[in-house]
Amino acid sequence: MDGVDEVDGINGTEEIRILAIESSCDETAAAVVKDGREVLSNVIYSQIALHTEFGGVVPEIASRKHIEKMNQVVEQALAEAGTALGDITAVAVTYGPGLVGALLVGVSAAKAISFATGIPLVGVHHIEGHISANFIENKDLEPPFVCLVVSGGHSHLVVVKDYGEYEIIGRTRDDAAGEAFDKVARAIGLGYPGGPKIDRVSKEGNPDAIPFPRAKVAESVYDFSFSGLKSAVLNYLNSCEMKGETVNAADVAASFQKAVVDVLVDHSMEAVKEYGYDKFAIAGGVASNSALRGALEQACKENGIAFYHPSPIYCTDNAAMIGVAGYYEYKKGIRHGYDLNAVPNLKLGERL
Ligand code: KG4
Ligand code: ZN
């Protein structure tokens, strides 16, 4: 990483337009974000349909599709924003964590644009992007606050101390929340992607029908564990099959979802109260879950905590969130060189 001591080209009033690129998993995305909080365009090419027949993301196919779609989404993002490359202040790109082959496509595209134009390059952490999605629609939100990050690959409780400064206070010991949604959906025959399907089917089911476990991790009150819950669902399905009983998929989905939501809400509220913050935000694909949003809204209200959440389109993977995070990194003076590489297991708060 190349740091710059003085933030060049910023005089406090000059407009900052970030061209952002995201390709860490199965969405090829580009966006233009003005002054950190105004989304001028947000183009997402979702590969979901391509991966559905395989029951999950196939990394090789994802990379190939990113290569095919990348230039198109970047051009579309610039066109929809009414912005020429010459008006772009910096190019921000997700460089980790994620699928290495998928990340490399976005990183290479961003480096090429930066090299050809001289526009500064800023590498962004994917989870920092998810957290920053909260700044788009909540103009009043400023750190510090506590954020629950729940996506396909992560379940973290994070204290956002300042822009770009994080303390992870809770993490999953095994499966991420989204991963549990996807695996359970597959087991009850709903297919991929599981989260939105369980969300929808649960509305027809009884969340108290099956008493699935709410796992606690002995040594850390804020850590999560979802593998026991996933096994309990699989055991329940097996025992129904052995007894010749028909499974009510909606009841299983609703009861599983309730078990996940209860644990996420409990841990979150304990963390916000214990750390003494009055602001709480959610981020990541699972943050678009309607039951989770409803339960957190209620819990925050009861505890006198202000609740922030992005619209569902900014919860799942997108480049606008990378543009917001990229803006704050750029303002800090963070710059990357042409040796920027994809880092599949990049840690939150780590800058390489
Ligand atoms: O943040 P994201 O788009 O990608 C990662 O960074 O992982 O999250 C994707 C995850 C998937 O596991 C998906 O099933 C889950 O978010 N998800 C949901 C919902 N929408 C997406 N989970 C529960 N309810 C939803 N409505
Ligand atoms: Zn994500």
pTM equals 0.95
Q: Ligand nearest 57 Cα, by number?
A: 1
Structure token pair of residue 198: 């369980």
Among 28, 197, 286, 318, residue to substitute to test ligand 1 (most atoms within 8 Å of Cβ): 286
Selection from 55, 62, 60, 56 nearest residue 25 by Cα:
62
pLDDT(7) > 60: no
**φ and ψ of 162, to 5 deg:** -160, 175
Q: Whose CA is nearest to atom 7 of ligand 1?
A: 152
Structure token pair of residue 281: 């935000």
- Assess contact for 190 and 173: CB atoms under 8 A: no
Least confident interval from 149-163, 214-228, 264-278: 214-228
Q: Tell me how far apart the alpha carbons of residues 93 and 15 are, in angstroms, rounded to a whole number.
A: 20
Selection from 196, 18, 9, 31 nearest residue 92 by Cα:
18
pLDDT value, residue 1: 73
| Nearest atom (ligand 1) to Cα of 130 | 1
- Assess contact for 186 and 192: CB atoms under 8 A: yes
Q: Tokens 């989304």 identify what position?
A: 39
- Assess contact for 297 and 329: CB atoms under 8 A: no
* Whether residue 199 has its Cβ less than 6 Å from ligand 1: yes
- 3-state helix, strand, coil split of the chain in percent (to 5) is 45, 20, 35
> How high is the mean pLDDT of the chain?
95
Structure token pair of residue 87: 């008006």
pLDDT(346) > 90: yes
Q: Ligand nearest 294 Cα, by number?
A: 1
Structure token pair of residue 177: 């929340």
Helices first, then strands: H and E counts in the chain: 12, 12
* Whether residue 96 has its Cβ less than 6 Å from ligand 1: no
Segment 45-95, tens digit of pLDDT: 999 999 988 988 999 999 999 999 999 999 999 999 999 999 999 999 999
Segment 227-271, tens digit of pLDDT: 999 999 999 999 999 999 999 999 999 999 999 999 999 999 999
* Whether residue 196 has its Cβ less than 6 Å from ligand 1: yes
Strand-pairing partners, residue 126, are none
Q: Which residues contact 19 (CB under 8 A, 6 or more apart)?
A: 30, 31, 32, 74, 77, 78, 83, 85, 88, 90, 91, 92, 113, 119, 323
* Whether residue 182 has its Cβ less than 6 Å from ligand 1: yes
